[in-house]
């Protein structure tokens, strides 16, 4: 691609993942002059931040980007890390978006007469509009307690975990039981490693129930289409943790109780560390009960839907716990337990320090309504719960992109009509 210094475009899209590419598809179709600015390479997160045995949790039939539905041989299967990366690269190749790879955006500022100045590693350009499509998981979080662990202990974030073989011999402590933590614990457990897992409050969901993938039932029920503003918790729903399950091996439940029965060590929330001695809150059993209760409540919802629709579906026995802790373990000596590494699966934080525009709330989250901010011409796309539960996954990014494309085109019409708007170029 040509240089960017001094160039003016109608739209600058920041981020070349599935969200940025989806919006670009609409802009290409409408003939909008735009660029997609990608710090690394297209869809690099799928290759760089997933472990070797990673698979999608959502079935392949939900992978449908604008003009590019999944058409592979396994619509009910779950693509692997490498398959997702190749699929997205193929998407980019299918319509030729104006992507500038290896181009980091270092600052975005409003201009006095409208529009934005976009500083990048390849020069500074101006744009009538900017769409931030960098997702919501920017910087891996390591809690303060990590600095209190022994210097010889190998510590890494879940984003840097690749395989059991890449870790030193010995036991592994995984902290966090959300999707990544639960799946990494399973990966290590299946490899025969001694696993210690500190549980959080993550919910779980059955993979299959009454003859179908639970995601298929929930999709039919419209669960992924409910706007975040319609949920009981309102916008606070954006902070919720995803349910853990896996697409590995054709898809299955992740039953942490079964892992414990078979030798995995479960603990409550990690509260403190003093060198090689760790302390945990006595919350393991409560966390397991909470996860199971959420799973069973989802089954209740599915049962009601099946009955209301008059669907003939097989009846299935409900889950019964296969293990309970005899007592809560509240202290752990890393040396005595033979633990040589820790995987922190405690999430990410956003990093918008480069975005010098007043659209953030007190917690640093961008204030928007379905991606539209109070600043004319500034939008967000690809955030978890941007509009619905499906927004942060392939299931609804196309729908969100189509909506934002309409908003972008509306601003574009105003810019062209009003001679006092967008004079920066």
Alpha-carbon distance values, 359 to 110, 362, 363, 368 (Å): 12, 10, 11, 8
298 & 378 share domain:
no
Domain membership of residue 13 as a residue range: 8-138+350-417
How many folded domains does the chain comprise?
A: 2
Q: What pLDDT was estimated at residue 333?
A: 98
d(CA 8, CA 212): 51
Residue 296 lies in a domain: yes
Domain finish residue from 316, 344, 372: 344
338 & 404 share domain:
no
Taken as a whole, the chain contains a residue count of 425
Report pLDDT digits (tens) over 294-333. Answer: 999 999 999 999 999 999 999 999 999 999 999 999 999 9
376 & 338 share domain:
no
Residue 114 lies in a domain: yes
145 & 134 share domain:
no
CA dihedral 44, 46, 51, 53 (to 10 degrees): -140
163 & 87 share domain:
no
Beta partners for residue 370, in sequence order: none
Quick one: DSSP state of residue 389?
A: G
Collapsing DSSP to helix, strand or coil, 105 comes out as strand
Residue (of 136, 128, 135) closest to 408 by Cα position: 128
Residue 283 has pLDDT above 70, yes or no: yes
Residue (of 59, 44, 21) closest to 395 by Cα position: 59
310 & 366 share domain:
no
Residue 2 lies in a domain: no
Residue 239 has pLDDT above 80, yes or no: no
Residue (of 112, 140, 116, 139) closest to 126 by Cα position: 116
User: CA triplet 228, 229, 235: central angle to 5 degrees?
Assistant: 70
Residue 3 lies in a domain: no
Residue (of 43, 41, 29) closest to 394 by Cα position: 43
173 & 284 share domain:
yes
Report pLDDT digits (tens) over 216-227. Answer: 999 999 999 999
Residues 119-137, mean pLDDT to the nearest whole number: 96
207 & 327 share domain:
yes
Residue 425 lies in a domain: no
Residue 65 lies in a domain: yes
- Give the DSSP letter string of 218-277: HHHTTGGGSBGGGSTTGGGGGGPPPPB-B-GGG-B---HHHHHHTT-EEE--EEEEETTE
CATH number at residue 325: 3.50.50.60
Residue 236 has pLDDT above 80, yes or no: no
Q: How confident is the model at residue 231 (pLDDT cuts 50, 70, 90)?
A: confident
367 & 255 share domain:
no
Domain finish residue from 321, 344, 367: 344
Retrieve residue 96's tokens.
Answer: 């030729």
63 & 160 share domain:
no
Report pLDDT digits (tens) over 162-180. Answer: 999 999 999 999 999 999 9
Give Cβ neighbours of residue 93 (< 8 Å, ≥ 6 apart).
none
d(CA 41, CA 47): 10
Question: How would you class 232 by CB atoms within 10 Å of its CB: exposed for 0-12, middle for 13-18, buried for 19 or more?
Answer: exposed
Retrieve residue 13's tokens.
Answer: 């899209």
Residue 394 lies in a domain: yes
Beta partners for residue 37, in sequence order: 14, 100
Residue 423 has pLDDT above 50, yes or no: no
394 against 163, higher pLDDT? 163
Task: Give the whole-number percent of the chain exceeding pLDDT 70.
Answer: 96
Residue (of 293, 194, 295, 193) closest to 244 by Cα position: 295
CA dihedral 110, 111, 115, 121 (to 10 degrees): -70
Alpha-carbon distance values, 303 to 169, 224, 231, 292, 331 (Å): 46, 18, 21, 16, 42
Q: What pLDDT was estimated at residue 390?
A: 85
14 & 146 share domain:
no
Question: Are the C-beta atoms of residues 123 and 3 closer than 8 Å to each other?
Answer: yes
339 & 223 share domain:
yes
Quick one: DSSP state of residue 348?
A: E
Residue 410 has pLDDT above 70, yes or no: yes
Collapsing DSSP to helix, strand or coil, 139 comes out as strand
Residue 425 has pLDDT above 50, yes or no: no
Residue 338 lies in a domain: yes
Q: What pLDDT was estimated at residue 241?
A: 80
Domain finish residue from 315, 344, 373: 344
């Amino acid at each position: 691609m040509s240089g960017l210094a001094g160039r003016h475009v109608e739209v600058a899209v920041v981020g070349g993942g599935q969200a940025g590419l989806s919006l670009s598809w609409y802009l290409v179709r409408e003939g909008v002059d735009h660029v997609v600015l990608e710090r690394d390479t297209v869809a690099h997160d799928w290759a760089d931040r997933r472990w070797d045995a990673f698979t999608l949790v959502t079935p392949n039939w939900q992978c449908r980007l604008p003009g590019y539905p999944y058409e592979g041989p396994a619509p009910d299967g779950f693509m692997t890390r490498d398959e997702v990366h190749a699929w997205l690269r193929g998407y980019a190749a299918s319509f030729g978006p104006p992507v500038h790879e290896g181009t980091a955006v270092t600052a975005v500022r409003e201009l006095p007469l409208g529009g934005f100045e976009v500083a990048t590693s390849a020069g500074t350009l101006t744009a009538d509009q900017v769409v931030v499509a960098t997702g919501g998981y920017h910087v891996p979080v390591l809690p303060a307690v990590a600095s209190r662990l022994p210097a010889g202990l190998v510590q890494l974030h879940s984003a840097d975990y690749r395989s059991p073989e890449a870790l030193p011999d010995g036991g592994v402590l995984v902290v966090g039981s959300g999707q990544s933590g639960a799946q990494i614990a399973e990966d290590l457990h299946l490899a025969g490693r001694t696993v210690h897992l500190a549980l959080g409050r993550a919910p779980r969901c059955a993979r299959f129930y009454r003859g179908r993938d639970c995601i298929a039932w929930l999709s039919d029920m419209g669960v992924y289409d409910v706007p975040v503003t319609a949920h009981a918790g309102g916008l606070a729903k954006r902070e919720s943790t995803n349910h853990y399950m896996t697409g590995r091996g054709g898809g299955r439940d992740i039953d942490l109780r079964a892992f414990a029965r078979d030798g995995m060590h479960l603990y409550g929330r990690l509260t403190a560390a003093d060198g090689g001695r760790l302390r945990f809150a006595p919350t393991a059993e409560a966390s397991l009960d909470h996860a199971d209760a959420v799973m069973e409540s989802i089954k209740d919802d599915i049962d009601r839907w099946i009955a209301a629709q008059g669907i003939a579906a097989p009846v299935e026995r409900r889950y019964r716990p296969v293990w309970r802790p005899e007592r809560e373990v509240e202290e752990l000596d890393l040396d005595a337990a033979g633990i040589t590494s820790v995987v922190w699966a405690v999430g990410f934080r956003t990093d918008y320090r480069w975005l010098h525009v007043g659209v953030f709330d007190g917690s640093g989250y961008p204030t928007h309504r379905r991606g539209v901010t109070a600043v004319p011409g500034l939008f967000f796309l690809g955030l978890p719960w941007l509009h619905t539960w499906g927004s942060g996954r392939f299931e609804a990014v196309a729908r969100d992109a189509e909506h934002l494309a309409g908003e972008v085109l509306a601003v574009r019409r105003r810019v062209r009509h009003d001679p006092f708007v967008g004079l920066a170029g």
